[in-house]
Structure 1
Amino acid sequence: MQFSLTPFTELRPGIWRAVAQPASVTIGLVVGSTGALVVDAGSSPDQGAEIRAAAAAVAGVPLVGAVVTHAHFDHYYGLAAFDDLTTYGHESLLAALEAPQVAEETAGLGFAPDRLRPPNKPLALARLVDLGDRHVELVHFGRGHTAGDVVVIVPDARVIFTGDLLEQSAPPAMGPDCFLKEWPAALDGILGLVREDTLLVPGHGEPVDRVFAFTQRAEISAVYGQVDYLIGRGVQLEDALAAGDWQFDDETIAAVLPIAYAQLAAEGKVPRTQLRLLPGH
């Protein structure tokens, strides 16, 4: 597995961004007058240590903590490198380390799962981090990309780190642990804070503006809405790709359709077989 980290570049005064491989994940750094906060921690404890060293060299003030935007490995598994500081993440991240896929993922990344650490200051809804002349708001607007998405808001700089609730470099990752129906509502929490000059920093890709965010919110909502519509028409899963009007490419939709059908089935929505009338009836 190839690990690397680009140099931190400044997006706005005191707001920095780097990109960690594998998975091209955004790493954020928010610097205030008395402390700095790292946003997301990379894919392994060793990479987390590299991120910590690079952030400390840029910040010019002590690192006081790190926050993880959600439980996926590329954002979470480096958090152990910050365990002597205050570390934040949604409370669901504690149980996420017990998931069956963790051992397989860590083996593929080249380290043992017992090196992982959960956030030592988990949050349910929100926390405030004091960096001196700047404060950072950590907010869980609800389930979306995962059960525990946390958004990092820097009000004075008009910057929001969205994690993978938004993605710019590829379509949003609508995996089996997403909550497709609820995702747009989580994005609405972000969009309610967005002004014309707000900079949104997604979990993967380049920073975006409010037009991009509104558009992607509508596209995610349209996936759920289109599947709901097709089920109501009696369209079976195997026919849905050809039958639907989709906002994303065929590969993305083919991957999410079984997830969407399963989530709607859990709500009691399943396609009904359409009976054909006999001639003359």
Structure 2
Amino acid sequence: MTPPASRGFVEVADRVFLARYPQWDVQVGLVLGRDGAVVVDTRASDVQGREVLDDVRRLGRDIEVRHVVNTHVHFDHTFGNIAFDTATVHAHETVAATLEARGERIKQLLRDDPAGAPEYGYTEADARGVVATPLRLPDRTFASSATIDLGDRVVTMTYAGRGHTEGDVAVGVADAGVLFLGDLIEESDHPSLGEDSWPLEWADTLTSHLTAAGEPGVVVPGHGRPVDVAFAERQRDEVAAVAAVLRERRLAGMALVDALHEPDARLPYPLEHLGTAVHRVWAQLATPSPAE
């Protein structure tokens, strides 16, 4: 179902705001401090990034966005960077290394098939906007962790391993009890185990983030409504179940074609949605299967 259009930023904790946008159902975060503001993820084009800035200004003309954080490399979280020309863009080092190639790939896909997809909330005009957007790479990258000092509060950025992509980071606002997890968590659908995901490592990565964060009151997914820790833990367990079943099949020597079609009641998501995850696990496990 297509989410409702954004009504701008809504405060979910002390000076932490969220805006949910219909195109690709993306959550964008805004953290205010004495020395400026941080935007978490920037949407899918320069036009959409400017819409975020307009929504920030509606909260207060004196708010200065000095920093942007990309939770991971995907276009719907990074292409809006170009709109934040006076801000420093922060991301994991793999985002800087792969954004251009990933960006060109999604642009080509949308050139080939620009028709809007209702289930993702975007139109053909939105697709053209993605294709036309110049990429802006991160200005500041890190391997394991980094911080942004806003004067009266600190925003943390932490890498704990691979999951949805090779470079997912958690963004924490400890004094407000808020944890942004990007697409390591999704509320409006099950997690996207795509062609650049790491299903066998994803659950451990989430466990590390949740353990380090303690008990945040608000967990922000990349798509959908904010959730609590219990929701994040349930989804972590679901991803772990997918990994366990697929690992078992691979190590037992099941043929790839059978793994793609053989049902298993332990799988929490429809098997037809897990085809890419099956291929990823078959590729990631080093031991070749004699059945192939």
SS in 2 for 1:37: strand
Aligned amino acid, residue 255 of structure 2: Q
Percent identity (aligned): 34
- Name the structure 1 match of 2:280: 259
Name the residue aligned to 1:232.
Answer: 251
Q: Which structure dedicates a bigger proportion of its chain to helix?
A: 2
User: Unpaired runs of 5+ in structure 2?
Assistant: 115-126
The count of aligned residue pairs is 269
TM-score (norm. length: structure 1)? 0.88
Q: Which has the higher contact order (CA 8 A, sep 6+)?
A: 2
Return the alpha-carbon distance in structure 2 between the equivalents of residues 196 and 271 of structure 1.
Answer: 46
Cross-structure match for 2:198: 179
**Which runs of structure 2 are paired with 1:1-281 in the superposition (5 Å)?**
5-58=6-59, 60-94=62-96, 95-99=98-102, 100-105=104-109, 107=111, 108=114, 109-111=127-129, 112=131, 115-240=134-259, 241-244=261-264, 245-264=266-285, 267-270=286-289, 272=291
Letter in 2 for 1:116: L
Select the structure of larger CA radius of gyration: 1
SS state at 2:108 partner: helix
Amino acid in the other structure paired with 2:128: G
Deviation at 1:64, TM superposition (A): 1.0
State the one-letter code of the partner of 2:76. D
TM-score for both structures, normalised by structure 2: 0.85
- Whole-Å separation in 2 of the counterparts to 1:243 and 1:21: 33
Amino acid at match of 1:19: R
User: RMSD of the alignment, in Å?
Assistant: 2.2
